[in-house]
Amino acid sequence: MRPSAERDLWDICGPRGVIANPTSLLPYESDGLAMLHVKPELVVLPRNTRQASDVMRLLHREGVPVVGRGAGTGLSGGATPVEGGVVVSTARMRDVLEVNAEDRYARVQAGVVNVDLSGACARHGLFYAPDPSSQMACTIGGNVAENSGGPHCFKYGATTQHVLGLVIVGHDGEVIDLSEPKVDPLGYDLVGLFVGSEGTFGLATEVTVRLTPRPEVVEVLLGVFASLDGACDSVTDVIAERLDPSALEILDRLTIEAVEDSVFAAGYPKDAGAVLLMETEGSEVEVAANVRAIRAILEKHGALSVRTARDEAERKKLWAGRKGAFGAMGRVAPDLYVADAVVPRTKLRELVRRTVEIASERDLRLATVFHAGDGNLHPNICYDRRDADEVKRVLEAGHEILKTCIEAGGSLTGEHGVGLEKLEEMELLFAPEDLATMCVVRDVWDPDRRMNPGKLIPLRACREVRTLPPPAEPA
Ligand SMILES: Cc1cc2nc3c(=O)[nH]c(=O)nc-3n(C[C@H](O)[C@H](O)[C@H](O)COP(=O)(O)OP(=O)(O)OC[C@H]3O[C@@H](n4cnc5c(N)ncnc54)[C@H](O)[C@@H]3O)c2cc1C
Ligand 1 center to residue 138 CA distance, Å? Answer: 6
User: Is the CB–ligand 1 distance for residue 82 below 6 Å?
Assistant: no
User: Is the CB–ligand 1 distance for residue 141 below 6 Å?
Assistant: yes
pTM, to two decimals = 0.95
Q: What local confidence, expressed as pLDDT, does residue 465 receive?
A: 67
User: Is the CB–ligand 1 distance for residue 80 below 6 Å?
Assistant: no
Edge-first strand listing for the sheet containing 66-69? 18-19, 42-44, 86-89, 66-69
- Give, using CA atoms, the residue closest to atom 9 of ligand 1: 132
Find the helix packing angle between 228-240 and 284-300, rounded to 10°. 130
User: Is the CB–ligand 1 distance for residue 142 below 6 Å?
Assistant: yes
CA distances for 88 relative to 75, 83, 340, 438, angstroms: 18, 14, 26, 24
Q: What local confidence, expressed as pLDDT, does residue 462 receive?
A: 78
Give span(s): CATH 3.30.70.2740, the chain: 333-424
Q: Which atom of ligand 1 is nearest to the CA of 371?
A: 8
Q: Which atom of ligand 1 is nearest to the CA of 199?
A: 44
Q: Does domain 217-327 match CATH 3.30.465.10?
A: no
| Beta carbons of 83 and 38 less than 8 angstroms apart | yes
Give span(s): CATH 3.30.465.10, the chain: 96-213
Walk along the chain (475 residues) and give the pLDDT tens digit of each residue: 888 999 999 999 999 999 999 999 999 999 999 999 999 999 999 999 999 999 999 999 999 999 999 999 999 999 999 999 999 999 999 999 999 999 999 999 999 999 999 999 999 999 999 999 999 999 999 999 999 999 999 999 999 999 999 999 999 999 999 998 766 778 899 999 999 999 999 999 999 999 999 999 999 999 999 999 999 999 999 999 999 899 999 999 999 999 999 999 999 999 999 999 999 999 999 999 999 999 999 999 999 999 999 999 999 999 999 999 999 999 999 999 999 999 999 999 999 999 999 999 999 999 999 999 999 999 999 999 999 999 999 999 999 999 999 999 999 998 999 999 999 999 999 999 999 999 999 999 999 999 999 999 998 777 766 655 556 676 6
Sign of CA pseudo-dihedral 307, 310, 313, 316: positive
Q: What local confidence, expressed as pLDDT, does residue 238 receive?
A: 96
Q: What local confidence, expressed as pLDDT, does residue 260 receive?
A: 98
Spatial distance between the Cα atoms of 173 and 62, rounded to a whole number of angstroms: 12
For 333-424, CATH number? 3.30.70.2740
Spatial distance between the Cα atoms of 34 and 335, rounded to a whole number of angstroms: 8
List phi, psi (to 5°) of 253.
-60, -45
For 3-89, CATH number? 3.30.43.10
Pocket test of ligand 1: the residue of 31, 33, 112, 148 to mutate, having most ligand atoms within 8 Å of its CB, is 148
Ligand 1 center to residue 288 CA distance, Å? Answer: 36
Q: Does domain 96-213 match CATH 3.30.465.10?
A: yes
Q: Which atom of ligand 1 is nearest to the CA of 327?
A: 1
Ligand 1 center to residue 311 CA distance, Å? Answer: 32
Q: What local confidence, expressed as pLDDT, does residue 466 receive?
A: 61
- Give, using CA atoms, the residue closest to atom 16 of ligand 1: 74
User: Is the CB–ligand 1 distance for residue 73 below 6 Å?
Assistant: yes
Q: Which atom of ligand 1 is nearest to the CA of 456?
A: 49
| Beta carbons of 42 and 9 less than 8 angstroms apart | yes
Ligand 1 center to residue 457 CA distance, Å? Answer: 18
Spatial distance between the Cα atoms of 151 and 375, rounded to a whole number of angstroms: 11
Q: What local confidence, expressed as pLDDT, does residue 163 receive?
A: 97
Give span(s): CATH 3.30.43.10, the chain: 3-89
